[in-house]
A and B are shown apart, each in its own frame.
Chain A
Amino acid sequence: MTYAKKLKPHEFHPWQGKQPLLSRLDIELTERCNNNCLHCCINLPEDDDGRRREMSTDFVKDVITQASDLGCLTVRFTGGEPLLREDLAELYEFTRRMGMHVILFTNGRLITKELAALLAGFPPGRVVEVSVYGMRTETYDRIVGKKGAFDEFRRGVALLQEHQIPFIVKGPLFSFTKDELVEFERWAATIPRMDKQPGYSMNFDLRSRRDDSAKNARIANLRATPAETVSALSRNPLYLEGMKQFCAKFMGPPGDMLFSCGAGHGTCIDAYGKAQMCMGLRNPEMVYDLLNGGLTGLRHALTEIFPRMREMQATNSDYLNRCARCFLKGLCEQCPAKSWMEHGTLDTPVEYLCSVAHAQARYLGLVGERENAWEVEDWKERVKRFTV
């Protein structure tokens, strides 16, 4: 007889037909970053005054304890660059000793021998995710805006490799780094946990605090065009088959409910202790301040605040005439967070995202050259034809 059963975290589901209140907690430990990437939507300088407003060590531990009480199995530390926090190792160890796995997002530049030894002796249980900004010094340092950054990144990655810490790599795609792509993917394929193509970002978000219009203009210029997006996605030999399976599940008009996504079913805590419905939605009216929430603030946000917000309906007539009726929901990144970043509202259509979704839909044969997807009446038949 076997008394103990081995299982993966996703196989553990004692909630009996319900969704867990919180299966993963995202914590942005800081918005500060030692990089100043051309395309970044959130970073502050590493010596920014915002540091004084960041959550204290004890506060973060309290939030993690609350998450543990809710049955959370995984905590993701992100930022900014989370390794800028001097208490990162302490928070990491605390989280692991609470019986949770840790996903660490990092650019790798600040990985030290001590941290690598900690991660090796006390594994995170999930792979470390390293963002890579180029394969050559001049490209990398130009994108991150820091001289010497590439060497530090390589040193950090070498420490992960030396200590056999499982990690994966991912990165942004720019038109001016195309010629490094093959080199990047060849290198990525040598990393033991990289069993598929690296994840890429290319449809960059604007500043999510809506704090820098000049930077927004630069980010908009760096975004992949709709045609470039399709070209990049379709390089993956698994793209078409993956899209068939995806479209079979996730297409159809979302209607006038604002949140047809998963926002609010989990949470992301920002660097200052505000619980957000997702990592992108920072509208001050849509967050819950855990500093006011006491010992059960996280539960309150997830059971009282967010469910009420999820009931919100769109009122923007353009949105109601287009997005609410558009069957490309699964292909389009339009959501309250993106609308907030682009327009400062929750329900204004984002033209760029609409163009990207339509370009993909045309490539997949779901809409014609001049068609608008919200005007397509036989969308169910089209999706069926594509997915069988």
Chain B
Amino acid sequence: MEQMHEAKYVPSEDVVARMIEDELIIVPLVAGIGDTDDELYTLNETGKAIWSRLDGKKSLRAVIDELATEFTAPAGEIEKDVLGLVGELTRRKIIVAQSA
């Protein structure tokens, strides 16, 4: 788990993220991300706040600290959200770990 906190993540080159009317949509570019060719993904508000910080420069620990400063939610809840989102998007190959 500690190792995951130090990891840095970026959006995969196999997706494009777009903001439309304040909604973030993620459009897969290659086969195998969604179940069908035309699938899109949207993120909830929590997901959007985390996504914008996955820039390949900040570790997940830094992302958690930044969100804890900005929002009033308990740090444990923020950590759970960040690790939850990263786990979900990694499984779907929407984000990838940045190699050192």
Contact = CB atoms under 8 A, between A and B. Distances in A.
Interface residues of A, number: 30
Contacts of A122: 29-30
Contact of B26 (A4, A73, A96, A120): A4
B20 A7 contact: no
Interface string A1-21: 111111111001011100000
Contacts, number: 84
Interface in B38-74: 38-44, 46-47, 50
B contact face: mostly helix, strand, loop, or mixed = mixed
Contact of B84 (A3, A5, A9): A3
B43 A14 contact: no
Given A1-B84, A12-B25, A7 B37 contact: no
B94 A123 contact: no
Contacts of A8: 38-40
Interface in A49-74: 68, 71, 73
Given A7-B39, A7-B40, A16 B81 contact: no
Max chain B C-beta neighbours (<10 A), residue from A4, A73, A125: A4
Contact of B21 (A6, A14, A121): A14
Interface in A95-154: 96-101, 120-126
Given A6-B41, A9-B38, A100 B20 contact: no
B4 interface: no
B75 to A, nearest CB: 17
Interface of A: 1-9, 12, 14-16, 68, 71, 73, 96-101, 120-126, 166
Given A4-B85, A15-B21, A101-B38, 4 more contacts: A7-B40, A12-B25, A123-B31, A166-B37
